[in-house]
Structure 1
Amino acid sequence: MDIIVNLAGKSINSRWNAKNKKEIMESRVQASHLLFRSLSVIDHTVVQVISASAIGFYPSDYEVCYTEKQQQANPEFLGQVCKLWEAHNLKFSELGIQSTIFRFGLILSADEGALPQFTKLIRLNLGSCLGSGKQWYSWIHYEDVIGMLIYGIEQQLSGIYNCVAPHPLRQKEFLNTIAKQLHKVNWLPRVPELFLKIVLGEKHQLVTDSQQVSSEKIVNKGFEFKFPVLKKALADIYKED
């Protein structure tokens, strides 16, 4: 075995009670620690470990465009998960193994993740902004995620890379683009952030946080996106609609 791709971790799409938050953190950190500990004591031919992280590492901000140079992690739960997760994965370099970390944005797929949750309401003519609607959503088509992982292997990339498309959108435009693709209109008043906090608790951050994230670093390495704009990505995902 030459390369390990470790994407293990309990889904964050669960209730954020104390038990699940503990499992979300430990499932990531302990998996990385197990790999590191094992590779440090056995004979192996591993030259690269590719690991997952998330753009939740970045603090929520309506104006800043984040690059991988950002060092200050989001003080909230997801930011601290990513911070500790990455710290464990960067340790592979101590063993002479290249460490590659991809910070995943909002991954778009017809069947999994956040997109089906948005489209469910939009198809029922219940679409509206969640919170201010001004928050940035940095998204990526699932095929580009796969392509970027393969590119990281082929090019033997090391370090941290944002796994997001080149054109993030504010939430209102993001949801309106989905509605247009589905021949619907988002007409309901926005849902106040306070209401989302009451209903979702701490988990409201998944829809109300704002992270405008740059993909310039991976583009400068030569990676080409198959779906750089949301309209094209949605047309592919819902081509059978």
Structure 2
Amino acid sequence: MKIAITGGSGFVGQAVTDELVDHQHEVVILTRNPDKYENRPGITYVKWLTDDAHPQKDLEGTEVFINLAGESINSGRWTEDRKKRIINSRISSTQEVIELMKNLTDKPTCLINASAIGYYPSSTANTYTEASTEKAHDFLGETVQIWEKEASKAEHHHFRVVYTRFGIILGDDGGALPRMALPYKMFAGGTVLPGNQWMSWVHITDVARAIRFAAENEAVSGPVNVTAPTPLRMKEFGIILGSVLGRPHWIPVPPFALKLAMGEMSQLVLDGQKVLPSVLSENGFQFEYTELESALVNIYHSR
């Protein structure tokens, strides 16, 4: 298939691109600065979101659009100005993608839009699947709900829409893991209190594989939780992380310290949800990494 990706140069986008090319798909990456990259077999870089961009002709024949574009939520404090940029970047990129899809002569069939398990409320007791109706009312929850609502407009034009609700993505080159591992590498790692909050994690390889699975399977639509089937409590997560790194797990981190350091963004670590990937499992998807230890061993000891 011919598949277009926005946000293709990011942490998730690079993994998805490699996964698709490895399975003989043709990838078009939409970017403001295509001249920064060299086309390589199976990958073409096309300009978009600039006044001189005319991507339509390069996108004819595209069957699936994967929208990963949006300002990172992990790269700085959530000031009011930054919150606006986080939301607006997601709305505008999604609107542009749907407009492109509508205007193609040879219509695509599917939009896969990024989202997050922050859609669900924080809880130490509840278990969430795609059938759960509870919604979070904090900044992250409202952001992903707005994003999914914008993406849902593609359904009005008869496109299949998939909302990939990512858990805590583990990889050595991006996501939350490098920050989480840093205290351990400095021999200062320990439980982020209270310690009973859930960590619904997923290996970056399985994120890329799940997105390819959704692209290739017409039966997959609507919300899709992209999390390993074995979420863990924060304390257990930290013990396993320290063990894999060969470091002690001993200095507890009080919530107020994280709130001072990270502000509202600390909710990414202090709050959590137990989320299960029911849609993927019911449709026959097999995770490569179902246990945290093997996932971390792959990340840190496979090179």
Asked whether the equivalents of residues 166 and 215 of structure 1 are also in contact (C-alpha less than 8 Å), the reply is: yes
For 2:206 and 2:253, locate their aligned partners in 1 and report how far apart those are by CA, in whole Å.
31
Q: Which runs of structure 2 are paired with 1:108-127 in the superposition (5 Å)? A: 108-127=170-189
What TM-score do you get using the length of structure 2 for normalisation?
Answer: 0.76
CA distance in 2, matches of 1:44, 1:126: 56
Of stretches 96-105 and 194-203 in structure 1, the one that deviates more from structure 2 is: 194-203
Distance 1:91 1:168 in 2: 32
Alignment of 1:167 with 2:230, yes or no, is: yes
- Report the AA paired with residue 65 of structure 2: I
Deviation at 1:33, TM superposition (A): 1.5
Q: Distance in 2 between matches of 1:36 and 1:4?
A: 9
- 2:203 equivalent to 1:144: no
Q: What do the CA deviations read for 1:12-53 (whole angstroms, capped 9, x no partner)?
A: 012211111111111111111222234335534210011100
* Offset, 1:214: 0.7
**Percent identical residues:** 35
Counterpart in the other structure of 2:73: 12
- Measured in 2, the distance between the counterparts of 1:60 and 1:217 equals 21
Please give the per-residue CA displacement for 1:91-121, whole angstroms capped at 9, x wherever unaligned.
Answer: 2111011001110000000121111112111
Contact 1:52–1:101 (CA under 8 A) maintained in structure 2? yes
CA contact (8 A) 1:51 1:100 kept: yes
Q: CA deviation at 1:240?
A: 4.3
Name which structure has the greater RCO, CA cutoff 8 Å, separation 6+: 1
- Partner residue, 1:96: 158
Per-residue deviation, 1:237: 0.8
Contact 1:131–1:196 at 8 Å: present in 2 too? Answer: no
- Deviations, residues 36-77 of structure 1 (Å, cap 9, x unaligned): 234335534210011100001111000101111222321000
Q: Which residue of 1 aligns with 2:290?
A: 228
Instruction: Give ranges in structure 2 of 5+ residues lacking alignment.
Output: 1-61
Which residue is 2:115 aligned to? Answer: 53
The total of aligned residue pairs comes to 240
SS of 2:95's partner is: helix
CA deviation profile, 1:171-198 (whole Å, cap 9, x unmatched): 010011010011111111x222123223
Are the aligned partners of 2:225 and 2:280 in contact in 1 as well (CA < 8 Å)? Answer: yes
Aligned to 1:201: 263
Q: CA deviation at 1:158?
A: 1.3
The equivalent position to 2:129 in structure 1, one of 64, 67, 75, is 67
Partner SS, residue 205 of structure 1: helix
Rounded Cα–Cα distance in structure 2 between residues aligned with 1:49 and 1:240: 34
Deviations 1:184-231 (A, max 9, x none): 11111x222123223321111010011100112211100000001101
Q: Which residue, 222, 240, 249 being the options, matches 1:186?
A: 249
C-alpha deviation, 1:153, in angstroms: 1.1
Q: Is the 8 A contact 2:113 2:151 kept in 1?
A: yes
Instruction: In structure 1, give the amino acid aligned to 2:174.
Output: E
Is residue 40 of structure 1 aligned with residue 102 of structure 2? Answer: yes
- Which residue of structure 1 lines up, in the alignment, with residue 196 of structure 2? 134
TM-score (norm 1): 0.95
Higher alpha-carbon Rg: 2
Q: Secondary structure of the equivalent of 1:49? A: strand
Alignment check: 8 A CA contact 2:77 2:264 kept: no
Q: Which moved more, 1:212-221 or 1:32-41?
A: 32-41
